[in-house]
């Protein structure tokens, strides 16, 4: 069915509405493929990198905590030795 017969059958307002709906549908498909999909892909990539960064930070914090506990133990021992020799 061509546009002229569609307009004659359904009327101009209905044919224009169908044309607008068709254009919106095509615009939606275009937006999904060219805007939303790349945005989602970049966001997933960002989240993957954020997870890696958080893991690295957590490991570093654990190492720092272990080093601080070791230093604290040594300071306690030195403090006790200094008190004992005083």
Write the pLDDT tens digit of every residue in 22-73: 999 999 999 999 999 999 999 999 999 999 999 999 999 999 999 999 999 9
How far from each other are the two terminal CA atoms of the chain, in whole angstroms?
106
pTM above 0.75, yes or no: no
* Domain of 8, in residue numbers: 3-85
The pLDDT assigned to 3 comes to 74
Residues belonging to the chain? 86
Token output for 20: 């607008």
Q: Residue 1: pLDDT band by 50, 70, 90 thresholds?
A: low
Token output for 57: 């930070």
Domains of the chain: total: 1
The pLDDT assigned to 54 comes to 98
Q: Residue 84: pLDDT band by 50, 70, 90 thresholds?
A: confident
């Amino acid at each position: 069915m061509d546009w002229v017969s569609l307009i004659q059958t359904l009327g101009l307002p209905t044919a224009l509405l169908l044309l607008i709906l068709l254009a919106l549908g095509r615009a939606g498909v275009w937006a999904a493929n060219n805007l939303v999909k790349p945005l989602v892909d970049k966001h997933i990539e960002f989240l993957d990198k954020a997870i890696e960064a958080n893991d690295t930070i957590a490991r570093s914090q654990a190492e720092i905590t272990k080093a601080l506990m070791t230093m604290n133990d040594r300071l306690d021992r030195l403090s006790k030795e200094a008190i004992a020799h005083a």
